[in-house]
Amino acid sequence: MRKRLIAVAVLVGMAGTLTPVAQAGAFATEVTQLLNHAQLVMQYIRQGEQLVNEVKMYENMLRNTKQLSGQTFGAIQSDISALANIVQGGMALSYSLANLDGEFRARYPNYGYSANTYYKDYAKWSQTSMDTTLGTLRAAGLQGQQLQSEQTVLASLRTMSQTSDGQMQALQVVSQIAEQQVQQLMKLRELMMADMSSKQAYQATTIQRQSASEAATQRFFTWTPEKSDGKTYQSGWK
């Protein structure tokens, strides 16, 4: 708008400095030409302003479609695999055990008693419960170690969010943050499964001990002596 006013002022000044022409028709022709030139100049100015706006619009479009040079994602697959493996030490009944159902039934047969193997069975139950608890503690310790790398990832995302330029980069940062939230939920679920495995192994050991004790008690009270064949034995008998 300012450029338009300047152009009009220049043209008016030019009209004021023209040498008077004797004939009115010639003077009118000159004024008409000046006005036509003014209109043409104003049209060029409008076209120039429109071109500037279009250039700015394209600049915004390019800025909003510009992607981040590099994105940061956590090593969720390796972290999950490490957590699944660390809980499988010794005789632990971990959630990631391949034949969990078969192993559980073999170690905890439920109601039954065998005097010859009771101490061996008790040792097996106790070791299973202890190893499962230890695996849960190892999983918690491993997640504690992974916190350092996760802090590095969050620091990188924080920097990206502060320096993002345009809608596309901002959306990519938000996408990475959402992906990190999913990873944390997956690790939390895995830690909860490890904790559940430890508690259920302890519960199974307790129930199995009670079942074996009840079975032994039942056997004691329902035992009947063998019938005698009537033979007696004395010292010196031949």
pTM of the shown model = 0.61
Asked if residues 9 and 38 have their Cβ atoms less than 8 Å apart, the reply is: no
* C-alpha 181, offset from chain centre: 4
Residue recorded with tokens 């969010």: 161
Tens digits of per-residue pLDDT, 97-131? 888 888 888 888 888 777 777 888 888 989 999 99
The Cα–Cα gap between 206 and 202 comes to: 6
- The rounded Cα 47 to chain-centroid distance in angstroms is 51
Whether 91 and 127 have beta carbons less than 8 Å apart is answered as yes
% pLDDT > 90, the chain: 10
Q: What angle do CA 108, 118, 113 make, to 5 degrees?
A: 70
Q: Which two tokens stand for residue 100?
A: 């969990």
| Dist CA 78 CA 87 (whole Å) | 15
How far is 47 from 58, CA to CA, in rounded Å? 16
C-alpha to C-alpha distance for 171 and 84, rounded to whole angstroms: 33
pLDDT digits (tens, 9 = 90+) for 46-84: 887 787 777 777 666 766 666 666 666 667 788 888 888
Average pLDDT on 163-182 reads: 81
Q: Is the pLDDT of residue 14 over 60?
A: no
Give 110's contacts (C-beta < 8 A, 6+ positions apart): 207, 208, 211
Nearest 5°: the CA angle 134, 139, 145 is: 125
Q: Supply the pLDDT for residue 233.
A: 63
- Work out the pLDDT band at 8, boundaries 50, 70, 90: very low
Distances (CA, A) of 116 to 104, 120, 224: 21, 9, 19
Which alpha helices (H) appear in the chain, and where do they start and end? 2-16, 24-65, 76-86, 100-107, 118-163, 167-221
